[in-house]
């Protein structure tokens, strides 16, 4: 679920460490003996869905190494006081890596936890919840893995791996028919947004297989989906949140996309407790 071998992930970790540590952790260097060994525990302080714990070995390896033991993988539902992982090594190394390790796990677990709340809201329907491209610049790969850890289905990774014809593309292309015709050159999934019943009819007449219905009310969505009647798969988006996602799911779409899963997730509370070895 969490593939941390990709070069992008390794570069993100290196940049995060360089940002925080820079030329060195002067506080630890001045106050903690260089030869002192310690162990530390990452502990959940609230109920959460874990994500990003697989980054820990990368973080510590980049600063000289430490022994990392992970007790729960990403996607695990945890309760307060659950120990997520332990790390053993030079005390200075553990201290200088503490904040970067926590920042990644707190942020990514926040995304996974929020994503899972959306998934739970549509339980016992046939709807798949999708994430979006509304991610933190530079962290998309990580945030999408976190969303998947929470049970969400990843939408396209970027502008390069799928065609999604939105309203501005339709305007620039000269209409629904022209946009779909030009998109036929792509050997992959093609989805088109429709804003009116006329555009909907035109898209269906042109053989559209996946429709994006944006900014409808639940009642409007239900009406449009009855009209589509399975002639194409459907995705609802726009102004959908935890308070109303169930209503939209009950309208009967195949997918619901929600940008809030990544752009509005709140970091969860995880702590790091340091203990000296043999004490």
Read off the pLDDT of residues 134-193 as tens digits, 9 standing for 90 and up: 999 999 999 999 999 999 999 999 999 999 999 999 999 999 999 999 999 999 999 999
Exactly one of 10, 45, 133, 134 is catalytic; which is it?
134
Q: Do 71 and 192 belong to one domain?
A: no
Q: Do 259 and 270 belong to one domain?
A: no
Q: What confidence tier does 1 reach under pLDDT thresholds 50, 70, 90?
A: low
Q: Is the pLDDT of residue 113 over 80?
A: yes
Structure tokens, 17 = 């460490």
Whether 7 is catalytic: no
Q: Tell me what pLDDT residue 245 has.
A: 98
Whether 134 is catalytic: yes
Query: What does the DSSP 8-state code read for residue 54?
Result: G
Question: Is residue 1 domain-resident?
Answer: no
Number of domains in the chain: 2
Whether 220 is catalytic: no
Q: Do 94 and 131 belong to one domain?
A: no
CATH number at residue 127: 3.20.20.70
| CA triple 52-57-58, angle to 5 deg | 85
Going through 9-94 in order, the beta strands assigned E by DSSP cover 37-44, 48-49, 67-70, 77-78, 83-90
Q: Tell me what pLDDT residue 3 has.
A: 85
Whether 202 is catalytic: no
Exactly one of 10, 117, 133, 166 is catalytic; which is it?
166
Exactly one of 54, 131, 191, 193 is catalytic; which is it?
193
Exactly one of 214, 223, 250, 269 is catalytic; which is it?
214
Q: Do 154 and 256 belong to one domain?
A: yes
pLDDT tens digits for 42-83?
A: 999 999 999 999 999 999 999 999 999 999 999 999 999 999
Exactly one of 10, 20, 45, 99 is catalytic; which is it?
99
Q: Which domain holds residue 222?
A: 120-263
Cα 227 to Cα 220: distance, rounded to the nearest angstrom: 11
Structure tokens, 236 = 């609802």
- Secondary-structure percent of the chain, ordered helix, strand, coil, rounded to 5: 40, 20, 40
Mean pLDDT of the residues in the chain: 96
Q: Tell me what pLDDT residue 18 has.
A: 97
Question: Is residue 2 domain-resident?
Answer: no
Whether 195 is catalytic: no
CATH number at residue 59: 3.90.1170.20
Q: Do 194 and 253 belong to one domain?
A: yes
Q: Do 165 and 258 belong to one domain?
A: yes
Residues 14 and 62 sit within 8 Å (Cβ to Cβ)? yes
């Amino acid at each position: 679920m969490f593939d941390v071998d990709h070069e992008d992930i390794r570069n993100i970790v290196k940049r995060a460490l360089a940002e925080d540590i820079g030329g060195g952790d002067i506080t630890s260097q001045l106050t903690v003996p260089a030869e002192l060994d310690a162990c530390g525990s990452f502990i959940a302080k609230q109920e959460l869905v874990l994500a990003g714990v697989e980054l820990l070995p990368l973080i510590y390896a980049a600063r000289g190494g430490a022994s990392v033991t992970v007790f729960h993988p990403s996607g695990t539902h945890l309760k307060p006081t659950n120990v997520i992982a332990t790390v053993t090594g030079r005390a200075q190394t553990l201290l200088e890596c503490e904040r970067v390790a926590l920042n990644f796990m707190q942020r990514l677990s926040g995304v996974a936890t929020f994503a899972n709340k959306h998934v739970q809201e549509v339980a016992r329907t046939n709807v798949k919840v999708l994430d979006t491209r509304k991610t933190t610049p530079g962290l998309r790969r990580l945030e999408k893995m976190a969303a998947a850890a929470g049970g969400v289905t990843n939408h396209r990774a970027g502008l390069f791996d799928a065609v999604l014809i939105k309203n501005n593309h339709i305007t620039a292309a000269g209409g629904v028919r022209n946009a779909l015709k030009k998109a036929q050159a792509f050997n992959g999934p093609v989805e088109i947004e429709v804003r009116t019943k006329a555009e909907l009819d035109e898209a269906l007449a042109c053989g559209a297989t996946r429709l994006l219905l944006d900014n409808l009310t639940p009642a409007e969505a239900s009406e449009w989906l009855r009209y589509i009647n399975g002639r194409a798969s459907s995705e609802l988006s726009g102004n959908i949140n935890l308070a109303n996602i169930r209503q939209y799911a009950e309208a009967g779409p195949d997918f619901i996309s929600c940008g809030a899963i990544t752009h509005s997730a709140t970091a969860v509370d995880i702590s790091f407790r340091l203990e000296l070895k043999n004490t």
